[in-house]
Structure 1
Amino acid sequence: MTAVLERPPVKAAPRSRRGGSPFEAARRRMIGPFLLPALLVYALVMIVPSVITVWISFNEWAGVGAMEWAGLANYREMVADPVFGTSFANTMKILVLVGAAVFVIAFTLTMLLQDMVGRKFVRAVIFFPSLVPGLVIAILWGFLLDPDGLANSVLKSLGIAEPPLWLAPENMFTTVMAGMTWLAAGTYTVIFMAAADRIPRYFYEAAELDGAGPLTRFWHITLPLMWDVIGVCAVLWAIGALKTFEFVLVFAGATGSLPPTGLWTFSVYAYAGAFPSDGVPRYGIASAAAVLTMLLTVVLTILVRRVMGRREQATY
């Protein structure tokens, strides 16, 4: 007769009601206490001011004294204001035109510098404007394009003594957009170059063996495998474009005064309501413009994420 030895059953570790080991349950319980300080700071810095801004947008308030309930009057007055229409159009121009120029320049430089000798140095030079605060770039852009600045001095040395067209009132906003393109192109070029560097080289080698040209490789390999990065950059650009403020204010505005209304953006419109060059501040109008900017930012972010939200996959 053969005895069969059986191992006594091993008791499993007790599991919490939500599943997992006691260690996992304890770890989940610690998440809340560690997140609480950050959530409190976020609420004080972001949520509470946003709620207050929304409340002020439904009131008439000069910054002191009691508020007077106005309902939707501030929004109706803002939408009927021709300056608001100009501000809306200028903001959309920055969003679409400058964004398209920045992305095209960034993609072009990324492809040109991909196999270039000394690309790290060139990338550092391109990225340099992004390291400098936007206020400084706006001042430098103004000095460069001033009638007595470097650009006009070069034109005079070439025998072109006419006033520079870029400072004409009808071309001023185009000049602003050109400066913003110069400011932002370096940042997105570096991001796109980093995304292109992570694409395995054997994709391109296989495509070259099959006779694929540069355009085919870009369209079927580079673009699909960079799609997630492009989506993130599109969201970042949409948020930044809707908040355009300091470049317009510093470059186009005289010292101590606002720029001409034809150059205003959403943020400048809101700033003008709260800090007018003359007259009484109207924080209700300023808050209404800020609330509209916030809503547009949320809507555009959702739309961009939906449009760009497909999986990355090489199609070659």
Structure 2
Amino acid sequence: MVALRIGVDPLERQQRRLFWPFVGPALAFYVTLFLAPIAYAAYTSLYKWDGMGAMQWKGLGNYEILLNDPSFHTSVLNTLKIMVIGGVATFVISFALTMALREMRGRMFARSVMFFPNLVNALVFGIAAGFIFAPDGPVNQLLRLFGVDAAPKWLSVDNLPAMIIGTLVWTSTGYYTTIIMAAVDQIPRYLYEAAELEGANAWQRFRNVTLPLSWDVVTVCAVLWTVSSVKVFEIVMLFGGGSTVSNAPVQTWTTAMYVYLSAFSPSSVPKFGLAAAAAMVSLVMVGLLVVLLRRIMRRERVMM
């Protein structure tokens, strides 16, 4: 017993002694601000509640409503479209910009310029897109100059989901390009020189050098995009309903919009239990997708 005590490293004992004093406050904040609200939302989802009166036990009734509600199905489908289509478009453009700017002399300035839109509220870009694609906006006027009289109705209900995805790609590309460029800048230049000496073309250098050595960062970016896709709200509100959220057509709803309108709909009694159930389904969905994404994108670490 004495030998064991003598064999313990004093530094290790000190680290063990300081573990909870340092981790405890952060853990308490995490439990208070994240885990406790999630637990309360799960509890609320089992009740029928308007936010004022007594809570009425409903069990899994709210989840049955979601299962049979076409509006919720549309919301989930739109969220998945944003996640998949928007994500693929964003990362393809981000990698293209990264490779195009990698050798540019002013790439640091270009990176700052591309990141700047991320500091601007998404509503600004929604308003800009609404102005650009209005019936008498710059895009349609430009098309008329080229003889296209029947200009597309960009902001019609059928085109709004595509417009929303396009605006999200527009606003997010700079953010992910900045992160990916930072990872690519860490790749040693001699690896590209060796690949060129071996006769590798631009695509082969990207596939065999750039992508493997930045894969960990790409995985993190993919997780960030997946989580942020579930929280898309402002753009949908602006394109669909302007300043009145309830005017947004169902064809544009996301899960975040569904949760909001279930809890704060001005035309009906608030349904906080249903909103909590929709929020829990969204949480489970994004959790499963993140786990699946991490497994699909898992690769052996490439050492430089």
What TM-score bracket applies, with the shorter chain setting the length? over 0.9
8 Å contact from structure 2 (residues 237, 243) kept in 1: no
Normalising by structure 2, report the TM-score.
0.92
Aligned to 1:272: 261
Match runs of 1:108-257 below 5 Å? 108-155=96-143, 160=148, 162=150, 164-257=152-245
Residue 124 of structure 1 deviates from its aligned partner by 2.6
8 Å contact from structure 2 (residues 130, 155) kept in 1: no
Residue 71 of structure 1 deviates from its aligned partner by 0.6
Q: SS of the counterpart of 1:309?
A: coil
Alpha-carbon distance in structure 2 between the residues aligned to 1:60 and 1:262 = 26
Runs of 4+ in 1 over 6 A off after TM superposition: none
Alpha-carbon distance in structure 1 between the residues aligned to 2:95 and 2:67 = 37
8 Å contact from structure 1 (residues 14, 21) kept in 2: no
Alpha-carbon distance in structure 2 between the residues aligned to 1:207 and 1:23 = 46
1:283 to 253, 272, 276: 272
Larger radius of gyration: 1
Letter matched to residue 133 of structure 1: N
Letter matched to residue 184 of structure 1: S
Gaps of 5+ in 2: none
110-119 or 155-164: which moved more? Answer: 155-164
Q: SS of the counterpart of 2:154?
A: helix
Letter matched to residue 191 of structure 1: I
Aligned to 1:6: none
Cα 1:47–1:260 shift into 2, 3 Å: same
**Identity of counterpart residues, as a percentage?**
43
What's the Cα RMSD here? 2.2
Cα 1:161–1:20 shift into 2, 3 Å: farther
Alpha-carbon distance in structure 2 between the residues aligned to 1:43 and 1:135 = 32
Aligned to 1:68: 56
8 Å contact from structure 1 (residues 16, 25) kept in 2: no
Residue 39 of structure 1 deviates from its aligned partner by 1.7
8 Å contact from structure 1 (residues 144, 150) kept in 2: yes
Letter matched to residue 219 of structure 2: G
Alpha-carbon distance in structure 2 between the residues aligned to 1:127 and 1:161 = 37
Alpha-carbon distance in structure 2 between the residues aligned to 1:269 and 1:242 = 11
**Aligned pair 1:262/2:251, yes or no?**
yes
**Aligned pair 1:35/2:23, yes or no?**
yes
Aligned to 1:301: 290
Q: SS of the counterpart of 2:159?
A: helix
Alpha-carbon distance in structure 2 between the residues aligned to 1:181 and 1:143 = 18
8 Å contact from structure 1 (residues 60, 282) kept in 2: yes
Alpha-carbon distance in structure 2 between the residues aligned to 1:144 and 1:15 = 74
